[in-house]
Amino acid sequence: MAIKLIAIDMDGTLLNPQNEITPRVQAAIQKVSNIGVVVILATGRPFVGVQRYLKELGLQKDSQYCITHNGALIQKATDGECVSELLLNFNDYLYFEKLSRVLGVHFQALTKTEMFTSNQDISEYTVHEAWMTGIPLRYRRVSDMDCNLYFPKVMMLDPPELLDYAISRIPDSVLQKYSIMKSSPYYLEILDKRANKGTRIKLIAEQLGLTRHEVMAIGDQENDLAMLEYAGISIAMGNSISSVRKIAQFITNTNAEDGVALAIENFVLRS
């Protein structure tokens, strides 16, 4: 069955190590888009960190969507208008902010347009996230936060050995209640239980009248597992973590070697 929808992770997948889309990857995506294949960028980034790449790929069309915050939001590619959202509330924020302090790791919380940290010693990974995506960063004490805010996701972050130890101490009841996954060795993402890239790609595919066998997904990290498990064709990047390589049907080149382009050329354009 022909592939009619391609879901592509961004960091470590679409983008090379310099956070760029290479000419070969750009050409492959534009070719499949021009023949009617739907291309969905599915990322942990906020919309502000996706806009530039949607424009670069020619995907800012009225009928085009993107998945942001690891599935918490489905947004129009043209202007970021939300068409579906699964959000955490302020009580969730309070719980995980306190838990992060108990576990001894840094914490940040994202609204649709801003990122907040309550850590006076702002983590270098928080600074990097703000720089990489372009989302405004605010230091705000918990007591000064607006209790009416809702959050696509909150995050714990620190060097891998510290973060992994903290993860091992998160209560099982919490792991069952929320969608919790790593998006890199340094970032643990916490979302509404229903939010992940897999459920959101499934929703878009069904609205387009497509089956999972007409969907291809490409990714490299733990937060890509759900969409790789859903897709009819699942592709792991050559730079993927072991759990991704284990479940994927195929492995392509790394993100430094045009891996996304190679996958599209082999499984969509040649067929």
DSSP for 161-194 reads HHHHHHHHTS-HHHHHHEEEEEEETTEEEEEETT
CB atoms within 10 A of CB 251: 15
Residue 200 near residue 7, CB atoms below 8 Å: no
What's the rounded Cα separation, in Å, for the pair 67 and 80? 10
Radius of gyration of the chain (CA): 18
Max Cα-Cα span within the chain: 57
Catalytically active residues, by annotation:
9
Task: Tell me the two tokens of residue 9.
Answer: 């992770």
Can you tell me the distance from the alpha carbon of 83 to that of 75, in angstroms, rounded to the nearest whole number? 6
CA distance 271 to 265: 9
Spell out a b/e string for 41-53, using b for 16 or more CB atoms within 10 Å of the CB, else e. bbbbbbbbbbbeb
Q: What share of the chain is helix, strand, coil (3-state, %, to 5)?
A: 40, 25, 35
Distance CA(49)–CA(14), nearest Å, equals 13
